[in-house]
Amino acid sequence: MPPFANWSYPTAIRFGPGRISEIAEACIISEIKKPLLITDRGLAKLEITARTLNLLDAAGLGRAIFAEVDTNPDEKNANAGVSAYKDGGHDGVIAFGGGSSLDLGKLVAFLSGQTRPLWDFEDIDDWWTRAAVDTIAPIVAVPTTAGTGSEVGRASVITNTETLEKKIIFHPKILPTVVICDPELTVKMPKFITAGTGLDAFAHCVEAFCSPHYHPMSQGMALEGMRLVKEYLPRAYTDGSDIEARAQMMSAAVMGATAFQKGLGAIHALSHPIGAIYNTHHGTTNAVCMPAVLQFNKPAIKNLLKEASNYLGINGGFDGFCSYVDDLNAFLEVPRSLSELGIKNPDIDRIVSSALNDPSTAGNPINMTISNTRDLLLNII
């Protein structure tokens, strides 16, 4: 049986099959009377979105929707979303979908009451304190994939179209007030999205576990998140209707995103610029980068991943863990290189420069330099 429960870590989460039926109640608790549902173009056409809008409409909350969300959302999507929010006289956001929709929904709620430009709130030093706090709109988050974990995050990733860089916008108050994790919403995910998003959750857990920063709660959560992915991602990939596997992967996604408060690393530092420049799927890009990054970090994480392997039931210590990652990628039909991902002749200098400026570098176990990051990237091409 899939799990069914309420908990509050790091925010209020309603978890279990069928809980989308509580969407109107979640809005009321969040003091939202006229929500704007923000999702992507593809999801806007699906039955699960129509059903959600019907539930809202039946409760007298309207059926307003904004669906101009790109795979890697940018400031143009954000500006259009804010305009739709203000023009409709909305008082809150339902962020509905995968990581892109969740990130943009949270960002629209944040920006709707700000007077400063978007990039003034980049996750640098204490720039988040520049925000007008009382005007940040409430958010209800409804993930329809199992990977990014943005539903429990205090940040949004947004692409700057002028520099082709992914930027992180952070503020504690863009943590959603209520999260509805309904695994039934993920049942019809295509296999490649199931794989890519699941491996995103795995990457969050692996990098958080290996980060040198001190955060014992995240450490334990990252380890158990890896176990859930190991046990349930192949099941969800093989049989999309396996509701227990779908539910456990939603748990793994929440755990990974909560765990990476401890830090991320070179996987994300590379994946962010690659995705921004070449518009690749984030989780899949993480998976392509992971094998080379594990070897890159080996001197610092060999013993740590030996301990993880013992917990996960993987033989062979560090090398066994790396073999497991290779086998999982192969089973999920993940490209083995950037070339197989469709990126020909990548701009190496540009990717390296952006990677070294990415906040994720601070959590990598091995110090990243121009030279060693270039060599790392060449191993992924």
Per-residue confidence (pLDDT) for residue 253, from 0 to 100: 98
Q: Which of 141, 163, 185 is the last residue of a domain?
A: 185
Q: What does the alpha-carbon distance between residue 47 and residue 275 come to, in Å, rounded to a whole number?
A: 29
Residue 156 in contact with residue 107, Cβ under 8 Å? yes
Q: Which of 166, 185, 204 is the last residue of a domain?
A: 185
Domain extent, residue 31, equals: 5-185
Are 264 and 372 contained in the same domain? Answer: yes
Are 143 and 246 contained in the same domain? Answer: no
CATH number at residue 301: 1.20.1090.10
Q: What does the alpha-carbon distance between residue 242 and residue 236 come to, in Å, rounded to a whole number?
A: 6
Q: Which of 159, 185, 211 is the last residue of a domain?
A: 185
Per-residue confidence (pLDDT) for residue 2, from 0 to 100: 85
Are 149 and 249 contained in the same domain? Answer: no
Per-residue confidence (pLDDT) for residue 5, from 0 to 100: 84
Are 166 and 220 contained in the same domain? Answer: no
Are 12 and 118 contained in the same domain? Answer: yes
How many domains are contained in the chain? 2
Residues in Cβ contact with 287 at an 8 Å cutoff, skipping those fewer than 6 apart: 195, 196, 199, 200, 202, 203, 329, 332, 334
Residue 148 in contact with residue 253, Cβ under 8 Å? yes
Q: What does the alpha-carbon distance between residue 288 and residue 278 come to, in Å, rounded to a whole number?
A: 14
Give per-residue burial for 309-345: e unless 16+ CB within 10 Å, then b: beebebeebbebbbebbeebbeebebbeebeebebee
Are 269 and 164 contained in the same domain? Answer: no
Are 16 and 30 contained in the same domain? Answer: yes
Are 256 and 295 contained in the same domain? Answer: yes
Q: What is the pLDDT along the chain (381 residues), one digit of tens a residue?
A: 888 888 778 999 999 999 999 999 999 999 999 999 999 999 999 999 999 999 999 999 999 999 999 999 999 999 999 999 999 999 999 999 999 999 999 999 999 999 999 999 999 999 999 999 999 999 999 999 999 999 999 999 999 999 999 999 999 999 999 999 999 999 999 999 999 999 999 999 999 999 999 999 999 999 999 999 999 999 999 999 999 999 999 999 999 999 999 999 999 999 999 999 999 999 999 999 999 999 999 999 999 999 999 999 999 999 999 999 999 999 999 999 999 999 999 999 999 999 999 999 999 999 999 999 999 999 999
CATH number at residue 134: 3.40.50.1970
Are 181 and 195 contained in the same domain? Answer: no
Flag whether the pTM goes above 0.85. yes
Are 113 and 234 contained in the same domain? Answer: no
